[in-house]
């Protein structure tokens, strides 16, 4: 019953939340979100910015990719934060194949004016699921999540230890 109460409270706090699903850790949450996006869009490619755990779908796009299948590595495309042109190129070069844009709202730098809005627009224009990773940012700076501060709402949000002030809940 506690899980249901917390889920209802999160839906009240987070303006774009309609449903809540709990998982063991941020990596599991992230992997579930990627699978949902792939299932929903019937596409396999992911555009990613930031750090997103150690699962194959992500780690194959990093320098820690030893042992990852080449076929998996080809599905994740990285772009730099605040570099909208890189994201536009990824979408253009993989037209109709991108399932999700997965990114942190902000980590080491703040978004340039209009950046997050443009990411949201690109996702909408190309039928791509926008996933914000707030595992470290959610509730730390702004009640409900950093996306609320910038008034840009994703299709899915992932929270983690930020809900418990750095401790697993």
**What pLDDT was estimated at residue 106?**
85
**Higher per-residue confidence, 139 vs 108:** 108
CA 162, CA 141: separation in Å to the nearest integer?
A: 10
pLDDT tens digits, 71-110 = 777 898 999 999 999 999 999 999 999 999 999 988 788 9
CA 7, CA 80: separation in Å to the nearest integer?
A: 33
What SS3 state is found at 129?
strand
What SS3 state is found at 113?
coil
pLDDT at 53 over 80: no
What does the longest C-alpha to C-alpha distance in the chain come to? 47
Read off the pTM.
Answer: 0.88
Helices (H), the chain: 2-13, 26-41, 56-59, 70-73, 84-93, 115-125, 146-150
Q: How many CB atoms lie within 10 A of CB 92?
A: 9
**Higher per-residue confidence, 128 vs 24:** 128
Q: What is the mean pLDDT of residues 34-45?
A: 96
Active site residues per annotation: 51, 133, 161
**Higher per-residue confidence, 143 vs 8:** 8
Return mean pLDDT, the chain: 86
Q: What is the mean pLDDT of residues 1-19?
A: 86
CA 122, CA 2: separation in Å to the nearest integer?
A: 38
Q: What is the mean pLDDT of residues 30-56?
A: 88
pLDDT tens digits, 146-166 = 888 899 999 999 887 767 766
């Amino acid at each position: 019953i506690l899980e249901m109460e917390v889920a209802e409270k999160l839906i009240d706090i987070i303006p774009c939340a309609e449903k809540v699903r709990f998982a063991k850790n941020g990596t599991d949450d992230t992997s579930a979100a990627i699978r949902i996006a792939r299932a929903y869009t019937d596409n396999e490619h992911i555009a990613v910015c930031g750090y997103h755990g150690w699962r194959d779908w992500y780690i194959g796009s990093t320098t820690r990719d030893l042992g990852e299948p080449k076929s998996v590595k080809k599905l994740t495309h990285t772009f730099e934060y605040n570099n909208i042109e890189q994201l536009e190129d990824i979408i253009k070069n993989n037209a109709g194949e991108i399932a999700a844009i997965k990114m942190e709202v902000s980590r080491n730098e703040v978004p340039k004016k209009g950046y997050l809005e443009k990411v949201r627009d690109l996702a909408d224009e190309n039928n791509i699921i926008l996933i914000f990773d707030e595992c470290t940012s959610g509730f730390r700076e702004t009640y409900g999540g950093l996306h609320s501060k910038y008034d840009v709402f994703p299709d899915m949000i992932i929270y983690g230890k930020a809900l418990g002030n750095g401790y697993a809940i």
